[in-house]
Amino acid sequence: MKAKEKTFGNAPLLKGWNFKPSDYTNAWKEGKLLTAQIENTNFCNCDCEYCFRGGNPSDKKVRFENEIIREQLFKSIKEMSDLGVKTINIIGAGEPLMDNNLEELLGYISNLGITSVIATNGSKITSDLINTFEKYQTSVILKLNTLDSILQNKLVRRDWFAEKRDYGLKLLLEAGFNKSCKEYNTRLGINSIVFQENKREIFDILRFCRKNNLMPVMSTFIPSGRTKEKTDQEVSMKEFIDISKKAQKIDTDEFDMKYNRLLPYLGGVPCTQCSKSSIYLTISGDIFDCPGQLHSYGNIKDISIKEALNKNRLINDNSNFSCPPRLDYWNRTNQLYKY
């Protein structure tokens, strides 16, 4: 393993992910949150083969019986704000853009001085939503697992998906979400799961990201939901490290980017989600360390965000900005690889 870095290198990081290692260290020392992950809706218009939330056999049109109400979510966000959180990532449990009250949520987060980041499949993006994102300076991470439309549609089990996703990406690029400024490198990222069917394309997607100033968020399956157990489609830890090293060489040779990070994301992107200064709140109010759900801290109906964070601080240590849930999974499945 490489020695701990004072910075994460010079690869571009998304607004809301553009922290230094010292920001995490200081949050830990002060007992504060730096980042958080929340879910705002279980509705989804896709049925991804690799869904970390368990999949969606048909379009979700009914709320979960145990979903927390919006007031409970807002109360938890205020608690996060009181604990110093700088970024809230909106990641599910379904497709975040299917939340009819999304603008209210983004406005509430923004009014607390927090950066919002939305992870979306991109198929619901419209010009009106672009304006909303601009209004609240929201960053966006968009799903793009392959440049092959047929394969992409197969992966999400929707034959219309790739065309709509590509249109959403076009709108974001035209609106300049990939432009850099003094405060941040970009407001647009690309999320790609690395697995057997697309692993040969990953370097093309990486080059696409670099040429368009997009932050790549590329890693293996999250070990939860449909990919909690071993699958034939996953790449091993060794395969992923080898791919990461090749990506690192491309970045060095072709784009003059220097970094040491190989896990959990290729391209020098650190984990912002699983450490003593981050937590994950599900649509049901359950609190975990991160979407990998390695540790559970209870439910907001029974425990405060501060109490959950204190539990997290006693258990987690991710000072290498790696991925404890994936490392735990690779260890359990005899794939752990020293590099």
Strand order in the sheet with 87-93: 215-219, 188-193, 139-143, 115-120, 87-93, 35-41, 278-281, 286-288, 296-299
pLDDT surpasses 60 at 49: yes
Give me the pLDDT at residue 61, please.
58
Q: What is the band of 274 on the pLDDT scale with cuts at 50, 70, 90?
A: confident
pLDDT surpasses 60 at 56: no
pLDDT surpasses 70 at 208: yes
Average confidence (pLDDT) over 22-33: 92
Average confidence (pLDDT) over 113-134: 98
Higher model confidence: residue 214 or residue 320?
A: 214
Residue 135's alpha-carbon distances to 62, 97, 106, 138, 140, in angstroms, are 30, 16, 9, 8, 13
Sign for the pseudo-dihedral over CA of 96, 11, 262, 216: positive
Give me the pLDDT at residue 1, please.
45
Length of the chain: 339
Average pLDDT of the chain to the nearest whole number: 93
Share of the chain above pLDDT 90, in %: 83
Domain that holds residue 48: 21-332
Give me the pLDDT at residue 62, please.
64
pLDDT surpasses 90 at 104: yes
13 within some domain: no
Structural domain tally of the chain?
Answer: 1
CA distance 35 to 15: 12
Average confidence (pLDDT) over 97-121: 97
339 within some domain: no
Alpha helices (runs of H) in the chain, residue ranges in sequence order? 21-29, 70-82, 102-111, 127-135, 149-156, 161-174, 202-211, 237-255, 305-315, 324-332
Residue 122's alpha-carbon distances to 46, 61, 193, 195, in angstroms, are 11, 19, 15, 21
pTM: 0.94
8 within some domain: no
Taking a C-beta distance cutoff of 8 angstroms, is the pair 273, 22 a contact? no
CATH code, domain carrying 284: 3.20.20.70
pLDDT surpasses 70 at 58: no
**Which of 45-59, 188-202, 248-262 has the weakest average pLDDT?**
45-59
43 within some domain: yes
Sign for the pseudo-dihedral over CA of 41, 234, 88, 209: negative
Where do we find the tokens 């993006």?
Answer: 125
Give me the pLDDT at residue 191, please.
97
**Residue type at position 51:** C
Give me the pLDDT at residue 55, please.
63
7 within some domain: no
Average confidence (pLDDT) over 71-86: 98
Taking a C-beta distance cutoff of 8 angstroms, is the pair 335, 284 a contact? no
Give me the pLDDT at residue 6, please.
78
Closest CA to 113 of 135, 89, 136: 136
86 within some domain: yes
301 within some domain: yes
147 within some domain: yes
Highest mean pLDDT among 57-61, 93-97, 290-294: 93-97
pLDDT surpasses 90 at 233: yes
Give me the pLDDT at residue 317, please.
76
**334: region left, alpha or beta (phi > 0 left; psi from -120 to 50 alpha):** left
